[in-house]
Amino acid sequence: MVTVTSATPAAPSLFPLDSSCGADLSQDPVALGCLAKDFLPDSITFSWNDNKNASITDGIKKFPSVLNTAGTYTATTQLSVTASEAQEVFYCSAEHPNGIRTVRVHPHRPCTTEPSMTIRPPARDQFLEPNKTSTIICSVKNLCNQAVTLKWLKEGVEVSSGIHTDGPVSSGRNGYTLSSELTVSEKDWDNDRVYSCKVESKNFSDIRNISKCFECGGECSPSDIGTQLIPPNFADIYIRKSAILTCRVINMQSTEGLNVIWMREDGKELKTSIGERKVQSNGRFSVDATTSVCADEWERGDEYTCEVIHPELIFPLKKTLTKQPVTNSHAPSVYIFPPPAEQLALREAATVTCLVKSFNPPDLFIKWLSNGEELNASKYISTQPIQESSQPLLYFAYSTLQISEQEWNAGNTYTCLVGHEKLPLQVTQRTVDKSTVYLDGFMDAEEEDFYNLWTTASTFIILFLLSLFYSTTVTLIKVK
């Protein structure tokens, strides 16, 4: 075939074809390329050399030349090397009647820009649609690796539905771009639910949080790092015989560099455990740091100091915790109530209720036992202490245990165990079962019918005996 062209004879322009940004170079083979453009005539010979200028003869492919619209030619060559060899530099040469060109080829060229991640709140006008939903958008640019995972979380729990993700898509020298949308309801957004976009890859890992509060500048809560000291609860003191002190660090942009130390009054450091970070409603983080001390030391009023060190703080934060005295303290009164007869008549479920009233301080614990064995906390529901009166300051709480009607009628005993620091032995209990209820005047429908029948029958028996006694007496008198 003869090609007629008006183009001027020229040597090729040579360009490297190296691996894309973030390409996986751990798998054999790794392909390198070389592109020769705009040469004429169509006569070109490629050759490859390593970084020591030694000629390479294996793993080379030469593809046919292609005629361009301008009347010149383009051709490519490919070199396949092992993953270990791919760490070196190679040289591609193109020999042409009008000159020789050489170009440096590197298997991997680092990304020129750091990855960036953004999260955008939902558009409010989308909530006006009939379905009352909108989308949060999470975008990551300049990723240096296609092997990337993106997860959505709601209040720290992974979301599996309502997600649409595009990518990773190649952006040339800028690596890859990843974009994901999460559909949220207007109700959840207005309730200030915290949503998180979490991205992880080999060379990049980050998380971004968004909520309604965070969208409006985080004005819903203080923006400065702070601490909250949480005293031990009575249940830990009574059951474990130790006091757990908690120092909660709040409003952190990042937990990097955080250090928390608990100390005694004399400055002696205590063993401190730092928990996992949690997402706040304003998109920032909080962390709990705890230590354990003897219950006796806490009860006698020893002081303990929490010191917080963080890169965002100019000076460490220090706060002291000690047991606060309670005025007008009062031990609780405990009452236990059997299932109502109306509920038992339905033969479906039975609810045993424990009322704890007139106590102060408000810290206490309630546990349930069945036949002397402690029940799992999932079996019952207990309220938080509720103010009963202000003068004097007293509280009440109650707990309900749900059992089956068959369990109640089987004669099992149920015990409400209450712990409070002002009780004589710090704990008291009340027990109820079917038999004690009957003795106390409580009975179910069948028992009530039987009781009424027995009352009627016994009345007739007594009247009959009285009549018989009267008749016998009169007869004896007449005989005399």
Task: Specify whether the CB–CB gap between 7 and 72 falls below 8 A.
Answer: yes
Contact residues for 258 (Cβ-Cβ < 8 A; gap 6+)? 249, 252, 274, 287, 308, 309, 310
432 and 338 assigned to the same domain: yes
Task: Specify whether the CB–CB gap between 17 and 32 falls below 8 A.
Answer: yes
Written as six digits, the tokens of 264 are 């005694």
Model pLDDT, residue 444: 42
* H helix count then E strand count, the chain: 8, 35
Please tell me the distance from the alpha carbon of residue 306 to that of residue 272, in angstroms, as a whole number: 10
Q: Quick check: is 8 in a domain?
A: no
Q: Quick check: is 464 in a domain?
A: no
Written as six digits, the tokens of 291 are 């230590």
Question: DSSP letters along 215-259, please?
Answer: HTTSTTS--S-EEEEEPPPHHHHHHHSEEEEEEEEEEES--TT-E
Residue 77: which CATH number? 2.60.40.10
Q: Which of 36-45, 83-92, 123-132, 295-304 has the lowest mean pLDDT?
A: 83-92
258 and 337 assigned to the same domain: no
- The number of domains in the chain is 4
Written as six digits, the tokens of 241 are 């015989």
242 and 307 assigned to the same domain: yes
Please tell me the distance from the alpha carbon of residue 261 to that of residue 305, in angstroms, as a whole number: 8
**Structural domain ending residue among the three candidates 277, 296, 322:** 322
pLDDT tens-digit map of 391-423: 889 999 999 999 998 999 999 999 999 999 999
62 and 121 assigned to the same domain: no
42 and 92 assigned to the same domain: yes
Question: DSSP letters along 372-430, please?
Answer: TEEPPGGGEEEPPPEEEEETTEEEEEEEEEEEEHHHHHTT--EEEEEE-TTSTTSEEEE
Model pLDDT, residue 137: 92
Please tell me the distance from the alpha carbon of residue 308 to that of residue 318, in angstroms, as a whole number: 6
Task: Specify whether the CB–CB gap between 359 and 395 falls below 8 A.
Answer: yes
**Structural domain ending residue among the three candidates 155, 183, 215:** 215
The chain-wide mean pLDDT, for the chain, equals 83
Specify the amino acid at residue 273.
Answer: S
Q: Quick check: is 473 in a domain?
A: no
357 and 414 assigned to the same domain: yes
Structural domain span for residue 136:
116-215
Q: What percent of the chain has pLDDT over 90?
A: 41
**Structural domain ending residue among the three candidates 105, 127, 145:** 105
Question: DSSP letters along 256-305, please?
Answer: TT-EEEEEETTS-EE--EE---EE-TTS-EEEEEEEEEEHHHHHTT--EE
Please tell me the distance from the alpha carbon of residue 144 to that of residue 95, in angstroms, as a whole number: 35
pLDDT tens-digit map of 99-127: 999 998 876 555 556 788 888 898 888 88
Torsion on CA atoms 447, 452, 454, 458, rounded to nearest 10: 160
pLDDT tens-digit map of 379-396: 999 999 999 988 889 999
Question: Which pTM does this prediction carry?
Answer: 0.47
